[in-house]
Amino acid sequence: MNKPKIILSLVLPIVILLSAIVKSEYQVRSGETWVFKIGAYDPRHLLKGQYLRFQVLWDWEKDGESRIVKNNSSCLCLMKKQGTVKVSNAQCESISENCDGFIRNKYLSRLEKYYIPENRGKVLEEKIRNKKAEIVLAINTNGYPVIKNMLIDGQPLEEGVE
């Protein structure tokens, strides 16, 4: 093997990894912050380690509307009202002026689990069962959400679990 191929085979994986990290950091820092309540916890997996599996408890705008439309052209319209975030189904192409933000439905599956430090699993499990839990999302202008943090009783996970 010649020297340029060896160098390329060593440098390319590092460049790809660094670009993924930079992209994620940019998303977290540039996206608008939204907070949602979560429920349905499942904190352990034998092969994948400690994580919290949860379901976002959407606060629906209309009483009868309580299901997410499952197709790639649909979005959740987010509206800030009296200190809460109301959601409704909408077509992504026609997000109305009434929406303060939106999440593309095709990205919602990314909002199901949050990895936590191994040594905090038991303590966190106990606290989560007894307290209010929320996730903080950073959502960019294209409707792509990233979990920024988790709040336990209004405190960031790092502070709430000791």
DSSP conformation letters of the chain = --HHHHHHHHHHHHHHHHHHHHHHHHHHHHSEEEEEEEEEEEEEETTTEEEEEEEE--EESSTT--S---STTEEEEEEEETTEEEEEEEEGGG--TT-SEEEEGGGGGGGSEEE--GGGHHHHHHHHHHS-EEEEEEE-TTS-EEEEEEEETTEEHHHH--
Residue 63 confidence (pLDDT) above 90:
no
Minimal CA–CA distance to 73: which of 60, 89, 62, 54? 89
The pLDDT confidence band at residue 4, using thresholds 50, 70 and 90, is confident
Average pLDDT over all residues of the chain:
79
Residue 147 confidence (pLDDT) above 80:
yes
Residue 102 has a pLDDT of 92
Q: What is the dihedral of CA 143, 147, 151, 152, to 10 degrees?
A: 120
The pLDDT confidence band at residue 39, using thresholds 50, 70 and 90, is confident
The C-alpha atoms of residue 159 and residue 64 are separated, in whole angstroms, by 38
Residue 90 confidence (pLDDT) above 90:
no
The C-alpha atoms of residue 151 and residue 148 are separated, in whole angstroms, by 10
Residue 66 has a pLDDT of 67
Q: Which two tokens stand for residue 17?
A: 């990894």
Residue type, 128: I
The pLDDT confidence band at residue 15, using thresholds 50, 70 and 90, is very high
Task: Parse the chain into domains and list their residue ranges.
Answer: 1-30, 32-160
Q: What is the largest CA-CA distance in the chain?
A: 67
pTM comes to 0.73
Residue 43 has a pLDDT of 55
